């Protein structure tokens, strides 16, 4: 899709592309007003970092001094201004990715294509560059299309999210809507949430395996396919069967425990399988270990039903 927008595929296969009311599908790539940041950066190895960044503006006929001044400003914003006179072969992969991003932004494109723009950066740098990129996109007069596998990037950078699953569009909505009402189990898992497919019945959902989950707000019609969605933080684990308010209680066997920031994510096999989040203190209190059999509970108020 990105190659089609860039003009790198046959026009008949790409279809029309209108930018600012002008059909640019018949124009060569360099005249489309489209900038691209590929995963590998694709910097010119024989040019300095500064010359790479100024390339787009210079190609537009801007005087060399002005193009280089704008390029230096973008390099400074992205924290790589001190590398201006080095060649791409003398900088790290993460630095090269920031230079590629600066080169694209400096060209003032009408359409900006970003292919996993932060993938090569470490976590600290990624957060800083994400903030810089978000600040720029807020005032960006053109259209930006970002391809990412990172839900944090999608939610923090995008106005709307198009989710593709095996080449098929499964959801197109605002980030908040995608997070609240994922339209497939795959979308929910991508966002780190539990999602159980089934059929609406009575006060909840009858799952594929036969279990029944209760929701505080059931769907208005029985028999429709739906998902029951709950965050891992809403799942409680117990050594003894819990008493009191939880309406969804079942047994599960611990299959995997992984670290997720300051919390632990616990995968349990059961009817249904579930992912829970616990604190290290909670895990110690449960004496959590792989192979343990535990009770799982989820309050009905924490279960959201999404009609498919």
Q: What is the DSSP letter of 30?
A: G
Q: What is the pLDDT of residue 154?
A: 86
pLDDT tens string 159-203: 999 988 888 898 899 988 888 888 888 888 878 889 999 999 999
* Residue ranges of domains in the chain: 33-159, 232-298
CA nearest to 234, candidates 261, 194, 268, 184: 194
What is the β-pairing status of strands 248-260 and 235-238?
unpaired
pLDDT exceeds cutoff 90 at 50: yes
pLDDT tens string 254-274: 999 998 778 899 999 999 999
Please give the C-alpha separations between residue 259 and each of 6, 187, 264, in angstroms, as whole numbers: 40, 21, 5
pLDDT exceeds cutoff 80 at 137: no
Q: Compute the chain's Rg from CA coordinates.
A: 25
Burial of 86 (0-12, 13-18, 19+ CB in 10 A): middle
Q: Which CATH class is domain 232-298?
A: mainly beta
Q: What is the pLDDT of residue 97?
A: 82
The two tokens of residue 157 are 């950078």
The domain made up of 33-159 has a fold known as Rossmann fold (3.40.50)
Which of the two residues, 305 and 167, has the higher pLDDT score? 305
User: Can you tell me the mean pLDDT for 134-152?
Assistant: 83
Neighbours of 288 (CB within 10 A): 18
What is the β-pairing status of strands 143-147 and 111-115?
parallel
Mean pLDDT score of the chain = 88
CA nearest to 249, candidates 232, 264, 277, 271: 271
DSSP run (H or E) holding 243: none
pLDDT tens string 70-122: 999 999 988 899 999 999 999 987 788 889 888 988 888 889 999 988 877 77
pLDDT exceeds cutoff 80 at 138: no
| % of the chain beyond a pLDDT of 70 | 98
pLDDT tens string 200-250: 999 999 998 889 999 999 999 999 999 999 999 999 999 999 887 678 999
CB-based contact 274:256 (threshold 8 Å): no
Distance CA 101, CA 157 (A): 15
């Amino acid at each position: 899709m990105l190659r089609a927008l860039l003009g790198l595929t046959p026009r008949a296969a790409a279809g029309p592309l209108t930018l600012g009311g002008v059909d640019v599908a018949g124009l060569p790539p360099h005249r489309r007003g489209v900038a691209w940041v590929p995963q590998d950066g694709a910097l010119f190895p024989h040019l300095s970092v500064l010359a790479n960044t100024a390339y787009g503006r210079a190609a537009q006929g801007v005087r060399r001094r002005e193009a280089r001044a704008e390029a230096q400003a973008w390099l400074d914003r992205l924290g790589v201004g001190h590398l201006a006179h080095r060649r791409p072969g003398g900088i790290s992969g993460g630095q090269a990715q920031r230079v590629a991003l600066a080169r694209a932004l400096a060209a003032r494109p009408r359409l900006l294509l970003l292919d996993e723009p932060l993938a090569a950066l470490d976590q600290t740098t990624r957060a800083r560059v994400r903030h810089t990129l978000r600040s720029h996109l807020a005032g960006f007069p053109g259209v930006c299309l970002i391809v990412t596998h990172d839900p944090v990037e999608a939610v923090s950078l995008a106005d709307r999210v198009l989710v593709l699953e095996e080449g098929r569009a499964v959801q197109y909505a605002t980030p908040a809507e995608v997070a609240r009402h994922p339209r497939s189990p795959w979308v929910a898992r991508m966002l780190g949430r539990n999602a159980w497919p089934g059929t609406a019945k009575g006060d909840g959902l009858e799952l594929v395996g036969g279990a029944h989950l209760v929701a505080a707000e059931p769907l208005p019609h029985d028999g429709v396919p739906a998902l029951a969605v709950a965050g891992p933080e809403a799942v409680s684990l117990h050594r003894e069967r819990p008493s009191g308010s939880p309406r969804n209680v079942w047994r599960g066997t611990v299959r995997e425990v992984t670290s997720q920031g300051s919390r632990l994510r616990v995968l349990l096999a059961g009817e249904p399988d579930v992912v829970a989040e616990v604190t290290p203190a909670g895990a110690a209190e449960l004496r959590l270990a792989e192979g343990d059999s535990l009770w799982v509970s989820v309050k009905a108020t924490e279960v959201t039903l999404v009609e498919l």
